[in-house]
C-alpha cells in the first residue's frame, strides 16, 4: 500500500542566540589550534542582553585575547548596532576558564616514542570520553543529505545573504527557518510548508503599519529568498504550499536581547534535522580529541561513501567509545532495507577501510592543523548552517573519495553480486 507522510526540519541563522554561542566557541577553538595544534579545548559560551560569558576548560600554550575573539565574531555576524540590544563593541564579555581535568586528560595523553602518524600511536591514544555518535547519508539531494534539513539550511543561508548584501536591508541577524516536505513511499514529492521567522526593523521605509510591514516582508522573502533556493531543484513549492512568515505578527526584538543563548543547544540543526538519530553530544567548542565531534564526522564520512558508492539509498552508522580506549566499543550499520548488500557486509567494509580510532580520525582529516592551514578559521565556518552536506566548504568528512574503493572491494568478494 502506498504511504504518504510529512517530515519537517528546521535551521537557524548565524544571528540566533544559540548559534552566536556556537560560533564564538569555535572561533576560540580555531584561534587556539592555529597557535597550538595540541590545545585541549572545551569552550562554552552564554549570551544574554548585553552579556557574553566564556567558560569551560582549556589547556593550551597559545596566548589568546578571548574578549577580542568574541567581539570580532559578534561583529561579523552583524550585531554592530546598539539598537539590536546587543552590540559587539558595548556588550560585556566575561571570561571564566579552567584547565582540563588531569583525570580526563590522561585518557588521551600518551607517550611519544612512536611516530605521531603511526598505527602504533593510533592504538595508544584513547577516546577523550565515552559516548555514542551517529552519521547518516541518503540520496535525496546531490550532497547526500535529507531534503528537509538541506532546504532549511539553504533558506537560512540565503536569508543571511540578502541581509548582508543590503538587498533586504531591513532584516536583522536573528532568524529561523523550517521546511515540511511531503513524502510518498519514502521519496520526497512536494513542499507542504515553508516557515521563516526573521528579525526586522519596526518600519520599512515609509511603511509603518504593522500589517503592511509584514506583507512587505512576506512578498520580499518569497522573491529574494525562497524562489532562488528552489531554482535548481526538481521538488518545488506549488499552489498548495503554505508560506508562513513571522506568524506572531512581528519579530523586532530578537537576538540575545530576545532570548538567551548557549553553546551546543542546536545539535539537531547541526546534523540531520531529526531525520537520523543523534548521539546527544554537541560539536562546537570541542577540540578533535573529543569523539563527540571527530567520531561524528567519521560516521558521516563512512555513511556518505556507502551511499555515494551506490551500496545503499540510505545509510546510518553508529559508533561508541570508552574513555581512554582507542578502538570503538561498537560499530553499527543500518541501511533501512535499501542496501544492495546486507548490512553485515557493509559493516565489514567500514571496519576494513575506515579509520575509526580517535588519533587516526584526527590524522586522516587533519583536524588539528586545518585552522592554521586555512587562515585561522575552519571550525567556526561549520558552526552555523550545519556540519554536514556543506557544498560551500571543503570539508574532509564530506569527500566521497572512498566510494570507488568500496565498490572495488565488494566486487572482489566471490559470494557477493557485483555492483555496477
- Residue 133, C-beta contacts closer than 8 angstroms, at least 6 positions apart: 279, 281, 291, 292, 295, 296, 298, 299, 318, 319, 320, 321
Q: Which three cell numbers stand for residue 77?
A: 555576524
pLDDT digit string (tens) for 38-65? 999 999 999 999 999 999 999 999 999 9
CA distance 402 to 408: 10
Give the residue, 152 or 258, on which the prediction is more confident.
152
Distance between CA atoms of 105 and 99, rounded to whole angstroms? 10
Span 258-297, pLDDT tens digits: 899 999 999 999 999 999 999 999 999 999 999 999 999 9
pLDDT of residue 404: 96
Q: Name 325's Cβ contacts closer than 8 Å, sequence gap at least 6.
A: 126, 127
Summarised one tens digit per residue, pLDDT across range 32-43 is: 999 999 999 999
Q: Compute the distance between CA of residue 68 and CA of residue 175 in angstroms, rounded to an integer.
A: 25
**pLDDT score for 122:** 84
- C-alpha 298/C-alpha 302 separation (Å) is 6
Instruction: Please state whether the predicted TM-score (pTM) of the whole model is above 0.85.
Output: yes
Amino acid at each position: 500500500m502506498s504511504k504518504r507522510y510529512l517530515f519537517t526540519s528546521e535551521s537557524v541563522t548565524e544571528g540566533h542566540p544559540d548559534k552566536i554561542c556556537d560560533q564564538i566557541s569555535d572561533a576560540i577553538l580555531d584561534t587556539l589550534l592555529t597557535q597550538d595544534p595540541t590545545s585541549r579545548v572545551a569552550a562554552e559560551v552564554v549570551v544574554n542582553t548585553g552579556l557574553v560569558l566564556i567558560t569551560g576548560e582549556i589547556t593550551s600554550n597559545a596566548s589568546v585575547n578571548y574578549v577580542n575573539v568574541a567581539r570580532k565574531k559578534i561583529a561579523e555576524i552583524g550585531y554592530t548596532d546598539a539598537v539590536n540590544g546587543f552590540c559587539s563593541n558595548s556588550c560585556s564579555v566575561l571570561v571564566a576558564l579552567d584547565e582540563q581535568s588531569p583525570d580526563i586528560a590522561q585518557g588521551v595523553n600518551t607517550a611519544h616514542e612512536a611516530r605521531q602518524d603511526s598505527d602504533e600511536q593510533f592504538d595508544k591514544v584513547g577516546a577523550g570520553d565515552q559516548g555514542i555518535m551517529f552519521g547518516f547519508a541518503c540520496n535525496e539531494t546531490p550532497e547526500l543529505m535529507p531534503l528537509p534539513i538541506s532546504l532549511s539550511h539553504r533558506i537560512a543561508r540565503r536569508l543571511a545573504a540578502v541581509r548582508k548584501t543590503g538587498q533586504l536591508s531591513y532584516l536583522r541577524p536573528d532568524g529561523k527557518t523550517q521546511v515540511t516536505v511531503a513524502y510518498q513511499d519514502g521519496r520526497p514529492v512536494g513542499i507542504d510548508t515553508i516557515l521563516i521567522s526573521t528579525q526586522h526593523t519596526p518600519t520599512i521605509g515609509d511603511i509603518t503599519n504593522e500589517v503592511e510591514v509584514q506583507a512587505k516582508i512576506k512578498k520580499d522573502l518569497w522573491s529574494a529568498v525562497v524562489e532562488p533556493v528552489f531554482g535548481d531543484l526538481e521538488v518545488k513549492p506549488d499552489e498548495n504550499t503554505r508560506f508562513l512568515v513571522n506568524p506572531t505578527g512581528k519579530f523586532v526584538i530578537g537576538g540575545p536581547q530576545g532570548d538567551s543563548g548557549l553553546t551546543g543547544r542546536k545539535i539537531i540543526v547541526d546534523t540531520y534535522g531529526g531525520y537520523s538519530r543523534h548521539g546527544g553530544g554537541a560539536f562546537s567548542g570541542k577540540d578533535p580529541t573529543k569523539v563527540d565531534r571527530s567520531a561524528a564526522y567519521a560516521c558521516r564520512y563512512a555513511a556518505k561513501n556507502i551511499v555515494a558508492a551506490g551500496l545503499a539509498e540510505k545509510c546510518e552508522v553508529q559508533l561508541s567509545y570508552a574513555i581512554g580506549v582507542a578502538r570503538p566499543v561498537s560499530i553499527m550499520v543500518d541501511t533501512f532495507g535499501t542496501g544492495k548488500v546486507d548490512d553485515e557486509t557493509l559493516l565489514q567494509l567500514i571496519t576494513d577501510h575506515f579509520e575509526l580510532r580517535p588519533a587516526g580520525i584526527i590524522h586522516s582529516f587533519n583536524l588539528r592543523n586545518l585552522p592554521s592551514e586555512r587562515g585561522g578559521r575552519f571550525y567556526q565556518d561549520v558552526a552555523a548552517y550545519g556540519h554536514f552536506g556543506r557544498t560551500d566548504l571543503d570539508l574532509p568528512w564530506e569527500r566521497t573519495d572512498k566510494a570507488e574503493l568500496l565498490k572495488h572491494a565488494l566486487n572482489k568478494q566471490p559470494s557477493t553480486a557485483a555492483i555496477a
